[in-house]
Amino acid sequence: MKTLRRKLCVLLTFVMVMTASFGTCTFAYAKEANNSKASYKVESKIVPIYMFAATAESTQDINLYYINGSDVPYMKLEDWTELYKAIAVGVFGKADFDIKIQKDSDEDVVYLVRENNFFMGIDFMQDLFYFWDYNAFIDIPGNGLMDVTSGIFRGADGSSRYVKELSSTNQRYGDQIMMDLGAYGIDLVQKKDNYYIPVQTLSDIFLASSSVNLLYNGKALIATGGVSALLGGAGLTELGNIYYADGGSGKISKTMAEYSYKELCFALDTFYGLKDQHRIKDFPTLMKQVGYEQYFLSKNQTRTEKRLLDLINNSLDDQHSVYQLPSYAADLMNVVEYAQKKGGSRASTALHERLAELMTARVQFNPEGVPGYQEVGDTAFITFDNFTVDLTKDYYTTAPTAEDTDTIGIIAYSVQQILRKNSPIKNVVLDLSCNTGGTVATAIYTLGAFLGKASISLEDPNTGALVTHDYKVDTNFDGKFNSKDTLAGKGLNLYCIASSVSFSCGNLVPCAFKNSGKVTLLGQTSGGGTCTVMHLTTASGSIFDISSSIRMSFLKNGSFYDIDRGADPDIPITKTEHYYDRKALVEFIHGLF
C-alpha cells in the first residue's frame, strides 16, 4: 500500500495540474490550513433511517455525527460502506457488490476498494477524493459501463427480458480524477482512527448517479429513489409526511446554509453536463454573476428555495434541469405560490406552448383519442407521447393487447400486428411528434423493434469514459432475440414523425433513425436533449434534477456526436394539421415511391 500511496501522490499532483473541471474555484471561507490537523469535537446521535419507504421493515437506526457543535450530519466511513452495500444489494439486487476499507500507513489516507478491484483514495488531511476510475468505481455489478438500462429488464435469475445486450464496443474507461472538496470548504474529518464524511457529499458522489438520494430533515435520514417516494397523486405519501413533519419553519442554521451552498456548487461543478455549452466557468462564479450567493448563504431557507428555482429556470434552462420539491425547512406553500407565479423555464415554456398547438390539432382529427396502434389502408401508425415501462406487467405470461399504454406493450403489439400472416401493411409510421421523453430502456426497445439492432453511445466528458452498447429485443416473447422480433429486413417502408417537442428520448430515437439511414424522418427538427437526467438534493433538503455529465450520442466513423441539436427531417412538414390528417398523410407517403 505504501507503493500505492506514492503512486497516488504522483497522480494527484498530475490531476491537480491537468484536470480543470475539478477544484478550480476557491471560496473565501475555505479551510485556512488544509495541511494541518484541526482539533475536532465529535458528537453522535442515533436517528432512524427510512429505506425508500415508511414501513417497519424498511426502517432502522443509524448513527450520525456532528463536528464542533455543527448541525451538519456526518457519517463514519465504516457505517457508510455498510449502508452503501445495503442499498446496492437490497435495492438494486446486486449480491456481488462489495466495498472494503483499506487504511494506509499514513493515517490521513484511506482507500475504498470495490469487488471489481477499482479503488479510490480519500485524503483527510487535504480533503481530497481521488478515483482511479470514477465511472467504474460507482458501477453497479452486471450493468456494464454507463449502462442506461439499469438492469430493469433482467429477470431474478439474471436472464434477459425484453432487451438483451449484445456487446459493449468502443468501451473506454475514464481518466483518473480528483475531487478537491477542500477547494469548496468541505471538511473531511479524521480523529484518531475514525473517519467522517458529510452525508450530503456521500449522497452526491456515490448514489445520485444511480437515482438514489439521501435526505436529512434534522430528525431522520431518508433514502429515496425520486420525488414519487414523497409525493403521490393524492398529495404527500407517508414518507413525505415524515419528511415534512414539522411544517417548515423557514429557517436553517448559518452552518447548514454555508455547507449546503458549498456542496451544491461542488455537485453542480462536478455533475452538470452542459457547463461548456452554457458558458459556465464554475458555479461559485455563476452564483456571484447572477447575484444569488448571498441568498444561498442566508438562513432563510424559503428565500433560498426561490433562488434555486430561479437558478434552474434562468441559468440552466435546459428542460432536463427541473426544480422538484422544496426543503423540509421551507415554507412549502410560499414556495409553491412563487413557482406558480414564475412559471417554467424559457425552454420548457416554449416546448409546452408548441405541444399545446400540436395536441389541439391532433384532437381535431382524433376527438376520441389516438390509439397506440392504428391501420389506415396499407399504413400502420404507432403513437405514444412518453417512453414508459410498466414493471407490474409480464408480457411473457400475458400477451400485449391494443389497450396497453406502456411502450413495451404498444411496440410489441404493433410489431405482432404488422408482421401477422397476410398483413396488408407496407408502411409503418412511428409518431413521436408529441413525445417529450421518458425511460431510455424503452427507447432502446423501440429502436431494436425498428432497426433490428439498437445502438446507443454514451460519453462522460468529465472523465473521458465512453462506450457503445448494442442490443436486440424480444417483441414476440418467445425468449429469443432474433429477426422475428423486428420490422427491419421485412421490405417495409419505415417512417418517423418528429417535432420540436420530441425531446430527450423522443429526440434520441429520431437521431438514431437518422444515423441509421433506414428510417425516413418526417416533420421538423427534433427537440434535442442529450444528457441523461440526474436527481440531486441539497444538504438543506431541496430536491431537483439536472442534465448529468452522461451524454447520449451516436457513433459515426468512430467518433461520438452528442444529440443536443436534434435530428433534421428528411421531408419537412410545415403545417401542423398535416401531422394528424392520416388519410392525407398516407396519400403523401404513397407519392414518395
Q: How far apart, in whole angstroms, are the C-alpha atoms of residue 479 and residue 485?
A: 10
- The three-state secondary structure class of 523 is strand
What pTM did the predictor assign? 0.89
pLDDT value for 94: 72
- Residues 6 or more apart whose Cβ sits within 8 Å of residue 163: 149, 153, 441, 444, 445, 448, 454, 471, 472, 473, 474
Q: Using DSSP, state whether 554 is helix, strand or coil.
A: strand
Asked if 41 and 200 touch (Cβ cutoff 8 Å), the reply is no
Residue 139 is predicted with a pLDDT of 82
What are the tens digits of pLDDT across the range 320-360? 999 999 999 999 889 989 999 988 889 899 999 999 999 99
Cα–Cα distance, 182 to 483 (Å, whole number): 55
What is the rounded distance in angstroms from the CA atom of residue 533 to the CA atom of residue 336? Answer: 23
| 54 Cβ neighbours under 8 A, 6+ residues apart | 237, 238, 239, 242
The backbone torsions φ and ψ at residue 107, rounded to the nearest 5 degrees and listed phi first, read: -65, -10
pLDDT tens digits, one per residue of 191-250: 988 999 999 999 999 999 888 999 999 999 999 988 888 988 888 999 999 999 987 778
C-alpha–C-alpha distance, residues 411 and 449, integer Å: 7
State the DSSP string of 411-465. Answer: HHHHHHHHTSTT----EEEEE-TT---B-HHHHHHHHHHHHSSEEEEEEETTTTE
Please tell me the predicted confidence (pLDDT) of residue 235. 87
The Cα–Cα gap between 566 and 273 comes to 17
Sign of CA dihedral 336, 354, 577, 374: negative
pLDDT value of position 151? 66
The residues of the chain scoring below 50 in pLDDT are 1-7, 9-26, 28-36
Could you tell me the CA-to-CA distances from 245 to 239, 336, 463, 479 in Å, in that order?
A: 10, 17, 40, 48
Name residues whose C-beta falls within 8 Å of residue 197's C-beta, 6 or more positions apart in sequence: 74, 75, 77, 80, 122, 188, 189
- Phi, psi dihedral angles at 367 (to 5 degrees): -60, -25
Compute the distance between CA of residue 398 and CA of residue 170 in angstroms, rounded to an integer.
38
* 175 alpha carbon, distance to own chain's centre: 21
In terms of Cα–Cα distance, which of 103, 138, 135 is closest to 121?
103
- Evaluate whether 230 touches 45 at the Cβ level (below 8 Å): no
pLDDT at 38: 64
Separation between Cα atoms, residue 583 and residue 377, nearest integer Å: 9
The SS3 call for residue 27 is coil
Q: Are 370 and 416 in contact (CB under 8 A)?
A: no
Single-letter amino acid, residue 490: K
CA–CA distance, 182 with 31 (Å, rounded to integer): 7
- Count CB atoms within 10 A of the CB of residue 343: 11
Structural domains for the chain: 1-141+175-245 (no CATH), 347-529+564-590 (3.90.226.10)
CA distance linking residue 386 with residue 442, whole number of Å: 10
Closest by Cα among 45, 47, 46 to 242 = 47
